[in-house]
Amino acid sequence: MEVIVVLAIIGGIISIAVSRLGGTNSQETSKLIRKISVDVKQIRNRAKLYGTTYRLAIKMDPEGQSYWVEKSSNVTLIDKKALDEQREKAKSQFRDSEEKDPSPSAFQPDTSFFKKEQILPRGYTFKLVESGSQDNIFADGTAYVHFFPQGYIEPCLIQIQKKKKNIWTLVFNPITGQADVIAEAKTLKELTR
């Protein structure tokens, strides 16, 4: 009788864990989350190794969800106002693709990290990207997560959603770059309470 009770408890725990990870495609979800976590850790290490500022660019367009790495060509201070202006300029260029940007960005794509944009698997989307130091919450357009030469990451989280059902929140430690995965939608404000 005791063995049956123990097996029932273990079965219940396993079924809850499987349903939280998305059921049959839990391996695909785990693989995606692990890849993004490893990529963030590698970007952090590269920023510290080369003594330059990097950023992870996350495109949250309905037509395509992807991410890539950009590198600063010189010492770059992160300014909220400048980022907001850059974001608005990118939105207007998206609407009017014939207009060119006369001022080059301090960041350029780093093809030594990824040869091309990393596209999310079908059915997955970036639901939200929150940057703590800039007080920015992005649900569309292009969001940026910055990595500094001292080995720090700006406080941030990334929410990944699968088929408008399951949401996972990746929260990154600003000092180590280590990712914590939460199997529900959270914000930085909720996590710092």
Looking at residue 84, which CATH number applies to its domain?
A: 3.55.40.10
Residue with tokens 């408008």: 164
b/e per residue 26-48 (b: at least 16 CB within 10 A): eebbeebbeebbebbbebbebbb
Report the distance separating Cα 170 and Cα 98, nearest Å: 37
Enumerate residues 6+ apart whose C-beta is below 8 A from 136: 80, 83, 84, 130, 143
Total domains present in the chain: 1
Q: Is residue 10 part of a domain?
A: no
Counting residues of the chain whose pLDDT is more than 90, the rounded percentage is 36
Closest C-alpha to 150, from 69, 33, 54, 28: 54
Token code pair at residue 61? 């367009």
Residue 19 covered by a domain: no
Nearest residue to 119 via CA among 66, 70, 171: 66
Residue 12 located in a structural domain: no
- Mean pLDDT value across residues 53-61: 92
Domain span at residue 71? 26-191
Task: Give residue 26's pLDDT.
Answer: 77
Which helix (H) or strand (E) segment is 9 a member of? Answer: helix 2-20
Q: Which residue has the higher pLDDT, 100 or 132?
A: 132
pLDDT at 159 over 60: yes
Tell me what pLDDT residue 99 has. Answer: 43
Q: In this structure, is residue 20 part of a structural domain?
A: no
Q: What is the mean pLDDT of the chain?
A: 81
Q: Look at residue 171 and tell me whether its pLDDT is greater than 60.
A: yes
Instruction: Tally Cβ neighbours within 10 Å of residue 188.
Output: 16
Local confidence band at 13 (pLDDT 50, 70, 90 cut-offs): confident
pLDDT attached to residue 103: 44
For the chain, the maximum distance between any two Cα atoms, rounded to a whole number of angstroms, is: 76
Residue 93 lies in a domain: yes
Domain assignment present for residue 11? The answer is: no
Residue 6 placed within a domain: no
Q: Which range scores top for mean pLDDT: 25-29, 48-52, 130-134, 163-167?
A: 48-52
> Is 38's pLDDT higher than 80?
yes
Contact between 137 and 144 (Cβ < 8 Å):
no
Q: Which two tokens stand for residue 183?
A: 């199997």
Rg (CA), the chain: 19
- Structural domain contains residue 82: yes
